[in-house]
Amino acid sequence: MARRAQPISAIPGAGAALLVAALILGTLAAVALRAEAGRGFAASDWAALRFTLTQAVLSAVLSVGLAIGVARALARRRFVGRSLLIALLGAPFILPVIVAILGLLAVFGRAGWISQALGFFGFESLQIYGLHGVVLAHVFFNLPLATRLILQGWQEIPAERFRLAAQINAGPGAMWHLLEAPMLARVVPGALAVVFAICLSSFAVALTLGGGPRATTIELAIYQAFRFDFDLGRAALLSAVQLLLTGCAAYLALRASSVEGTGAGLDRSLRRWDGTGGRAKTIDWAWILFATVFLLLPLIAVVLSGVSGLVLLKIAVWEAALTSILVSAGSTVLLLLLAVPMAASVALGKARLIEVAGILGLAASPLVIGTGLFIVIYPIADPFDLALPVTALVNAVMALPFALRILVPQAQAVVSRYGKLVLSLDMAGWAFLWRVFLPRMRAQIGFAAGLAAALSMGDLGVITLFADPEIATLPLQIYRLMGAYQMQAAAGAALLLLLLSMAAFWILDRGGRWHAEA
């Protein structure tokens, strides 16, 4: 068969995928070579492994368990602000972890609102540090994600089924057996696996709310081995274990879930005839109230405590903010240079290679890549000089799987819809890229860039490995302020970071859709 003409080359995308694979596998190899397997696992390493698994299981079960109720309530109630609440469920994805933690501290912390209220009635204040604090923060981040995944399950039930159920006058029990239970059986395993996988590589939460021998995740242990003991061998051994864990979990999550949390159209409302009883209504409203309060209170707390701190910000915080903006911009550009050609290659049918790179991106942990890069760079240059470029690069790679999920469907649509016309007009290559592909992809590119910029802006991960005291991104600066018990300044800086992340996302996402035609 003759070779098939294509409107654009698949080679740059394949090159980008190879680059990503080389980065992830290369750092992995560097880590593996350094790992001292013979020395074996110390007691503290076993503790870290146990804690990592325990908190991830608890976080997944709690997040998904609560999400079942919230999703059911959102699926069958119509109210003003429903689509706003559903949009809010997407917010934690781009919310900087350190900001959420300050919010959670302000609400659930020792001196937080709830502790104060308890103290008023003569009870003891809450203790947030440790396992339950880590799980609380993970539920805060993943309850919305799990809710969106299950809501998607509700959305995928054909409207005819609801009509049929109404026709046969199905009561609550019948609704459960006919619709909800089969849907949950399909969706819940995937949701559990996704949340479990995310919580496995939790670093910033464990760094701030965990710590100590009883609440250290493997990621945190890598950081400590690296930062406190400068024991590269141990860091590498832990990295290998972490990679095995996240690799298995990512594989499980991809196997178990065909659903996507970022899917649009979740606020589409469908006429429902069930759940009209008073008890069902009360239960639903309780779930909706719970979710709203649980998600909004920490955010409100950040804003309230941050406003007064905003005027107190020192010059170092503003410098850190500028650094963060630069890292975020660099990371976004890098991401687009990798993701757009990769999406084009997938659209041209080169799916395999790219999928592999995407899966590697999901399984890779920032701290492992960071450790590997450190080992690779160390003999050649001072890794601390490269703290910012490395952070931007690692952030871009971590955002890659999400960016591909956003870009690929539209790239496929553009190629299949206009491919032949483009070929018959002899406008393959650059003309296609500039005149058709990029303009048609603008909204998706803007959305992906917005996510990448916000994720990078709020990231507190690999920078902690590489930063010397002279240099800091804004999240790291906030962490340092917290460490110095300057909570007022930390709150102000957190509000600034929140504003920057949201602004970066909003500007890029809006920019993509500005004056966009159908």
- Whole-number Å distance between alpha carbons of 169 and 505: 46
- Whole-number Å distance between alpha carbons of 473 and 325: 9
CB of 398 to another protein, least distance (A): 31
| 119-122: Cβ within 8 A, 24+ apart | none
CB of 354 to another protein, least distance (A): 24
CB of 353 to another protein, least distance (A): 24
Among 377, 423, 503, 507, interactor with another protein by CB under 8 A: 423
CB of 2 to another protein, least distance (A): 4
- # of chain residues touching another protein (CB under 8 A): 25
CB of 212 to another protein, least distance (A): 56
Query: Which among 216, 214, 150, 155 is positioned nearest to 186, based on CA atoms?
Result: 150
425 binds another protein (CB under 8 A): yes
Among 439, 484, 506, 513, interactor with another protein by CB under 8 A: 439
81 binds another protein (CB under 8 A): no
CB of 415 to another protein, least distance (A): 12
Name which of residues 403 to 422 contact another protein (CB under 8 A).
417-418, 420-421
**Rama region for 157: left / alpha / beta (φ>0; ψ in -120 to 50; rest):** beta
Of 1 and 168, the one with the shorter C-beta distance to another protein is 1
Q: Tokens for 232?
A: 């590269």
- Whole-number Å distance between alpha carbons of 474 and 471: 10
8 binds another protein (CB under 8 A): no
Among 430, 469, 470, 485, interactor with another protein by CB under 8 A: 430
Residue ranges in 125-215 assigned as alpha helix (H): 131-155, 159-167, 172-175, 181-200, 204-209
Of 157 and 425, the one with the shorter C-beta distance to another protein is 425
Of 160 and 426, the one with the shorter C-beta distance to another protein is 426
Instruction: Say if CB 332 and CB 403 are below 8 A apart.
Output: no
List all residues 6 or more positions away from 195 whose beta carbon is below 8 Å from its beta carbon.
59, 60, 63, 64, 138, 142, 145, 146
CB of 409 to another protein, least distance (A): 17
- Contact range with another protein by CB under 8 A, out of 39-47, 254-262, 395-403, 428-436: 428-436
- Whole-number Å distance between alpha carbons of 415 and 347: 7
CA dihedral in degrees (404, 406, 409, 412; nearest 10)? -60
428 binds another protein (CB under 8 A): yes
CB of 512 to another protein, least distance (A): 13
Among 2, 264, 380, 381, interactor with another protein by CB under 8 A: 2
- Whole-number Å distance between alpha carbons of 103 and 369: 29
- Whole-number Å distance between alpha carbons of 285 and 85: 13
Of 2 and 315, the one with the shorter C-beta distance to another protein is 2
Residue ranges in 90-130 assigned as alpha helix (H): 97-108, 113-120
435 binds another protein (CB under 8 A): yes
513 binds another protein (CB under 8 A): no
Query: Which among 399, 502, 505, 516 is positioned nearest to 447, based on CA atoms?
Result: 505
- Whole-number Å distance between alpha carbons of 85 and 291: 9
- Whole-number Å distance between alpha carbons of 43 and 26: 29
436 binds another protein (CB under 8 A): yes
5 binds another protein (CB under 8 A): yes
- Contact range with another protein by CB under 8 A, out of 221-229, 257-265, 430-438, 487-495: 430-438
CB of 441 to another protein, least distance (A): 11
What φ, ψ does residue 471 adopt, rounded to 5°? -125, 140
Of 172 and 429, the one with the shorter C-beta distance to another protein is 429
Query: Which among 121, 292, 70, 102 is positioned nearest to 208, based on CA atoms?
Result: 102
440 binds another protein (CB under 8 A): yes
CB of 422 to another protein, least distance (A): 8
Binding site for another protein (CB under 8 A): 1-2, 4-5, 417-418, 420-421, 423-428, 430-432, 434-436, 439-440, 516-518
